[in-house]
Amino acid sequence: MNPLHYSRKRYRRSGPQTTRGYVFLIIKVSILVALWSGFTLVLLSHKSDGVTKTMVTVMPNKTVLRDVKMKEKPVQIILEGAIWSYPTNKFRKAHKFPAVAVRLEWRDGNMNFSYRRTGKWMVYLAKDKTKMEPVRKIFKFHPLLWSNENESIMTKHISKNVSDDPMPKWSYAKTVISLESMSEEPVGLLMTVNNSPLHVNSLCVMYAAFLIIGLLIMFIWDLGDRTLCTLLTTCAALATLTVVGNRPSFKQIMSWVDFETLMLLLGNMVMMSLMAETGFFDYLAVVAYRISKGHAWLLIALLGVVVSLCSAFLDNATVVLLFSPAVVRLCEAMAVRTTLVLVIIALYANIGGSVTPVGGPPNAIIANNPSVASAIDISFIRFSLRMLPAAVICMIAVFGIFYMTMKERIFMLDQNQIELDQKRRDEIRPRFDIQLRIAELRRNQPRRPWLQPAFNYFETLATLEASNRIRKKMLLVQSLMALGFAASCFILTSVPSAIPGASLGWISILSAFLLLIMADKKDMGETLGRVEWGVMLYLASFFVLTEVLVQLGLIHWLGQKAVKVMKTVDCPYQTMIGMLLILWISALMSSVIDNAAVATIMVRLCIDMAFDDGVNVKIMPLVWATCFGTSYGANGTLLGSCANEFAAVVARAYGYEISFRAFFRVGFPIMLLTIVICTLFLMIADSVLSWQ
């Protein structure tokens, strides 16, 4: 049974069997169709308007003017290029750095005199010219509204320029965008001008909140596949943005998707799907059983370590998907509670995935965010060294809690597992080669082993070895070579100027290409068919949804509330309070919404808080708090991460059931424990190690 054939969809019965079920189905479909009808009507009846894009080149110490059509609303200017976004968004002065001063002006027809102008918006330039980072600002400026001083200046200028022409030149005055270079090198910028920017108010924030609440309701009540529900909510969000503001173009929507993160996940999934053909993950589980000598809790500890290590360098959800079938077979052979062990494996995968920026979607989203990358050094080694100590402490603490509270309960099988175990034992026929292997294992057993084997250890080990061998050794060697190349490049990214053109996404996808070349696959369809495209589409849609929430003002509103709380404490403690707020908010949100989705929201909230002049908070501690909160908060419920859902999917495929309530009883206390540990760790890191 190949676990990669199972998607993250929920397995249901073929159809409702009662009148109540039919009524629920009709209501559910009616609600979703009504939602579809609403956003379809809006999106088909509106068109994009008022957005223009131009490429602007400003020569050293020169000024460039560009015309802009003014309406009643303010004007939003978005600049993309080699921009240093942190001081630009923070509105802080950095005199020693090159910049471009941007403002709106109302000039005369000859462009020689400015009747009125706004204040300068200082856009600071980055040293790395390969970066393409956006910054934006809304200018509230109307040419017909000016002060008495402006009016006297204009009158004096008009009196000098009035001629016999019945239409004086001043009547041809126009609004322009002025870009003044303060750099010794030419500057190229992509400028987007929106003449109808959204006016954010309390209603917009309320609409955004309704969208999130509606999505959460669809998730908890299981009104459909999670990817479909997210796509529907995203389309509804775009329709809402169209009604209250301006419909974004398709190119603009695509620019909101973080393709760097999607490339990282795609490369990992391709490599994992090829490694699955070798039987490597099943073999690792058998090795863990051999080392543990068949003792259940020692085996669980070893499996936790192996899963955590694999999850640190590979996508943790896919690791769970590939390890779970072997874990099921081990649990059945050892007569331990299968569902509980699968939950433990999922929890350890979330903890292990927190260590590196490639261990799971949340960390990849945070590490690849351009604003975060430009503000702090978030290299692979630095990221891992910051996250590793807390992960090790949490792994030890979690195992200790499980061992003390469930020492004997691990052997308490439910009636379903007893029946399944008996049925499979009846179907298995003893094989002669297995009997020979059992005899060989007994002969090779040391006289004084370091640990006495458990009951039925040799029979179980021989049976597992017969069905869990390395099937394709050459492909395994090729896979390890590709992973070694990826790991080496990840480490080299931490060395300045070692591989300046490398990024996590490019390294992952190039490693996948290397493995595909060496594997010499004749048919790519089978490999690509095992990629979790639903996960990719889910993340892409949530990137768009998050950007809509930003434009509707929800993220800024949350940031203002957090800033308001931080203002109540003294300045030296504001970083600590902000860090703990982000940690607990992201953890609680990740318990009920997929942590990858929470990461897209929280990283924007961190940026908004760090750029607020009302508080003195650095972005670095907020980023680390988000990494801890999204990774460990996912252990709270079944909805927290793809790893949790994949464990439930594989369990269901083998006849077991991991319900929302069953996962909650085990995972939520563990989530609270690990977040308390992370709280203490971050407090020590901030006060003693000065992480800020």
Sketch out the chain's domains with CATH numbers. Answer: 51-194 (2.60.120)
Report the mean per-residue pLDDT for the chain. Answer: 81
Q: How far apart are CA 106 and CA 627, in angstroms?
A: 47
Q: How far apart are CA 461 and CA 450, in angstroms?
A: 18
Q: How far apart are CA 584 and CA 630, in angstroms?
A: 9
Label residue 399 by pLDDT band (50, 70, 90): very high
Residue 72, amino acid: E
pLDDT, residue 567, reads 78
Residue 448, amino acid: R
In this predicted structure, the answer to whether residue 65 has a pLDDT above a threshold of 60 is yes
In this predicted structure, the answer to whether residue 431 has a pLDDT above a threshold of 80 is no
Straight-line distance from the first to the last Cα atom of the chain, in angstroms, rounded to the nearest whole number: 49
Residue located via tokens 């239409």? 167
In this predicted structure, the answer to whether residue 109 has a pLDDT above a threshold of 70 is no
Nearest CA to 581 among 605, 558, 604, 562? 562
In this predicted structure, the answer to whether residue 392 has a pLDDT above a threshold of 90 is yes
Nearest CA to 298 among 449, 452, 447? 452
pLDDT, residue 50, reads 61
Interacting residues of 15 by C-beta distance below 8 A, sequence separation 6+: 21
In this predicted structure, the answer to whether residue 345 has a pLDDT above a threshold of 80 is yes
In this predicted structure, the answer to whether residue 161 has a pLDDT above a threshold of 70 is no
Q: What's the burial of 570, exposed, middle or buried (CB within 10 Å: 0-12/13-18/19+)?
A: exposed
Hey, how many other C-beta atoms are within 10 angstroms of the C-beta on 30?
10
Q: How far apart are CA 459 and CA 434, in angstroms?
A: 8
Q: Which residues pair with 179 in a beta bridge?
A: 64, 102
Label residue 169 by pLDDT band (50, 70, 90): very low
pLDDT, residue 425, reads 59
Mean pLDDT, residues 644-665: 86
Read off the pTM.
0.76
Between 16 and 140, where is the model more confident? 140
Interacting residues of 92 by C-beta distance below 8 A, sequence separation 6+: none
In this predicted structure, the answer to whether residue 681 has a pLDDT above a threshold of 70 is yes
In this predicted structure, the answer to whether residue 80 has a pLDDT above a threshold of 90 is no
What are 357's two structure tokens? Answer: 């920026």
Mean pLDDT, residues 618-632: 89
Q: Are strands 114-117 and 121-124 parallel, antiparallel or unpaired?
A: unpaired
Cβ-contact 636, 664 below 8 angstroms? yes
Mean pLDDT, residues 268-279: 86
Label residue 680 by pLDDT band (50, 70, 90): very high
Q: How far apart are CA 106 and CA 172, in angstroms?
A: 11
User: To which H or E segment does residue 638 belong?
Assistant: none
